[in-house]
């Protein structure tokens, strides 16, 4: 599996992602620039990653301008053909703006930027990103000011019915409780996927938890699940 990591103006987690995938997980990584369009080096067995940061300074709305980058037109086509796409933090916001995922990411409920370790739990046994990590609490860092997942009630019910919720915020014991929700996300949602289970979005940063030097390798388990279930 090859990974392509897209850099937008204002991306600041692109090299974190590249280093994590290339050096900690031993994967082939191709660096992609937002003004380019060529994804011919990738097949639908590969994965394109939209990293975190503040694309275009988060003007208008987070991800609203990046959605129109030339590379994003190719990413949309790639996803529609069945290729895997992961958006982390700002990348999640871009996927929602591009219409590849439903809903939106709003300002945190406390109206403050939050940067800390949180716990996530997945009960999704069908998505390749989560298949191998279900039922356990994973410690993954967050760093965002607009991470509160929002969708109307009908969309939330559809996400639940279609098993599209990837991760929920939980406590260290895996209990999905309001106290463990760091941003006010509806139904404690930390990550979702599309109906075809090839487009994934999550606010927490698994690439910041893949190295023993950081005292946390839970993020490796998430990426490894994707690789193992390719």
Helical H runs in the chain? 14-19, 70-80, 90-97, 153-161, 218-228
Cβ density class 172-194: b for 16+ within 10 Å, e for less: eebebeeebbbbbbbebbbbbbb
Find the catalytic residue in 13, 47, 96, 207. 207
Tokens describing residue 114: 């939050």
The reply to whether 207 belongs to the active site is: yes
Radius of gyration of the chain (CA): 16
Calculate the dihedral angle through the C-alpha atoms of 20, 138, 7, 89, rounding to the nearest 10 degrees: -170
Find the catalytic residue in 89, 96, 170, 193. 89
The reply to whether 89 belongs to the active site is: yes
Find the catalytic residue in 62, 144, 146, 205. 205
Q: State the catalytic residues.
A: 89, 205, 207
């Amino acid at each position: 599996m090859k990974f392509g990591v897209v850099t937008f103006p204002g991306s600041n987690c692109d090299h974190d992602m590249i280093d994590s995938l290339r050096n900690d997980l031993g994967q082939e990584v191709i660096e992609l620039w937002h003004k380019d369009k060529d994804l011919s080096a990738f097949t639908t067995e590969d994965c394109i990653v939209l990293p975190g940061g503040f694309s275009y300074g988060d003007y208008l709305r987070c991800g609203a301008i990046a959605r129109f980058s030339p590379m994003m037109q190719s990413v949309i086509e790639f996803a529609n053909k069945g290729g895997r796409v992961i958006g982390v933090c700002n990348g999640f916001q871009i996927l929602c703006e591009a219409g590849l995922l439903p809903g939106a990411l709003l300002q945190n409920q406390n109206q403050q930027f939050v940067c800390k370790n949180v716990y996530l739990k997945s009960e999704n046994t069908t998505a390749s990103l989560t298949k191998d990590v279900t039922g356990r609490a994973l410690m993954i860092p967050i760093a965002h000011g607009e991470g509160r997942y929002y969708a109307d009630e009908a969309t939330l019910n559809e996400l639940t019915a279609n098993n599209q919720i990837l991760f929920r915020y939980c406590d260290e014991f895996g209990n999905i409780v309001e106290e463990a929700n760091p941003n006010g996300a509806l139904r404690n949602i930390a990550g979702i996927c599309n109906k075809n289970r090839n487009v994934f979005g999550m606010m927490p940063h698994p690439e910041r938890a893949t190295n023993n030097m950081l005292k946390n390798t839970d993020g490796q388990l998430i990426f490894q699940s994707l690789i193992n279930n390719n």
